[in-house]
Amino acid sequence: MSSYRNGFETGPHASETARTTAIGAADLDPELLELALDASGIGLWTADLATDTVQGDARLLRMHGIDPACFRGTAEELRSRVPAEDRERIRKEIREALEGERGLFRCDYRVEHPDGAVRWLRVRGRAVPGASGRPASMVGFCEDLTDQHLAREHLRESERHIRMIAGEAPVMIWVSGADGLVEYFSPPWLEFRGRRLEEERGLGWAEGIHPDDRERVRAAFRASAASGGEYTCEYRLRRHDGEYRWVLDRARPRLGPEGELLGHVGSTVDIQELHEAQQRADRLAAVAARTTNAVLITDARGRCEWVNAAFERTTGHPAAEIVGLEPWALLSALTLFYIVLG
């Protein structure tokens, strides 16, 4: 006669060793154990290798889309829910476990429910020797990994999308891992550097940073990898022709389904011309600030953008009143040193 304990069928055809191992220590409160298993979502099972029968709790059967009231206890009922390609992989894992010294196995696989839903499960188990010393049964547990699998698939799809965009975008794009090592560089980056992906991956790209900027950039990069925050840095990067070009590097963190840091996605833009223009503007502003002549600078639209202190003194107009206006309205008999930029 069969009876149930902790969701397992016990009876004369069940392996005593397997049943004892699967259920756990006898001194555990059965109700507490059942509550713990329900909370974990783990399904327990035992398998008799000689009869190809399986005893499993209701959680295990529901994971496989099987009504516990209709389960006849055959391994084939479970196998029938598994796609053929996954079924062969499970057989291989079990075979290797039975032939190995420890007899342990683990395998992820899909199951197809009657309503068409596909779930991803992970089974873990170990062989239990019989009287002869050879494996006579197996015990283990199963858990549903569908949500984690879908999250990983979504992440992989996002990364594929990023790389597809990166391959077409005119800017240089890179992707790093949680360890701070860069895993991917887009074609524009590799073209700019004149190097292969294998040479740039990891920390290889840092070899191209100007020696005077290298430690500063590395410190900023390490800080963003450690904190998971955003990263912005300007530095000189060696181009394929040996010229160092000023670039602007910006990155944002990549987060996993649980909010964990997966790394950063960054873009790098050549700002050499902008940097040179800024240097020229700074030099011009420094000269204009020192001169005793009144200086007014406009933007490309002809509107006032900056005036020096001499202009304010000469015209009596403070900069706050003038910026944004067309300078022609301010013309008088005064002789102005007038500069138009743009």
Q: What is the pLDDT of residue 7?
A: 34
Query: Which positions ≥6 away from 98 have C-beta within 8 Å?
Result: 49, 127, 135
- Decide if pLDDT at 5 tops 60: no
Q: What is the per-residue pLDDT across 36-79, written as a single tens digit (0 to 9) for each?
A: 666 667 888 899 999 999 998 888 899 999 999 999 999 999 99
Mean pLDDT value across the chain: 80
pTM above 0.75, yes or no: no
CA–CA gap between residue 249 and residue 216 (Å, rounded): 13
